[in-house]
Amino acid sequence: MADLNTNLLRTLDGPASQHKKSGQDEMEFSEGSDNAIHTKVTDPNTGQPIDPRQVTDNQVKTVLDSIKQQQSQIIDRINDPLLTEDSKVKGELEEIDTKLTTLISIIESGLNVGTGNSIVEMWSGSSNETRNFNQNLNTFGITNDGNTNVNITIGDVSFSVKQGESFEASFNSFDEIVIDTTSPYRAYVKGGAE
């Protein structure tokens, strides 16, 4: 883990978006456009940048379908009495099946394959607002850039984000957010709720 024994950067009105580069001791301001921070994702093996726009749900679904097909073949072998007379072989096949089931579950829930869990909308504001969306959402994130609380209601859940704080959480399916504030903020919602 990085040693972050350094002060956070601040702007005139509070904490700023920032990051720490590997091998450096000080934080750097993060810049972006359209109220979004741009992040460079690299392949851990090659160090080459990965463009997330080049990975589509269809590519993930293709890999997932291939894994499910392999799992189906393993289940057929487990149920074949000629191949599984040896209890050791049957145990190994069942262990592989369990691992594949876990992998499929992680992919489907963590990435929300098929339903998507990407950012649907990003916005900023500094006043009271009821924001409605034309689809079900499951995640809300916000950064309070001001000096007073931002009060939020999603469904039956109400909470406050204090000055300088950021917040992200998953909720039951929702399509409306009520924001009560005079503090400047940046917010986003993610889709994928079923």
pLDDT for 170 equals: 85
What is the rounded distance in angstroms from the CA atom of residue 122 to the CA atom of residue 126?
A: 14
pLDDT for 38 equals: 61
CA 108 to chain centre: 13
What is the rounded distance in angstroms from the CA atom of residue 85 to the CA atom of residue 114?
A: 39
pLDDT for 113 equals: 43
3-class SS string, 109-132: HHCCCCCCCCEEEEEEECCCEEEE
Q: How confident is the model at residue 178 (pLDDT cuts 50, 70, 90)?
A: very high
The neighbour count for residue 32, using CB atoms within 10 Å, is 10
Q: How confident is the model at residue 181 (pLDDT cuts 50, 70, 90)?
A: very high
pLDDT for 129 equals: 95
> What is the chain's mean pLDDT, rounded?
76
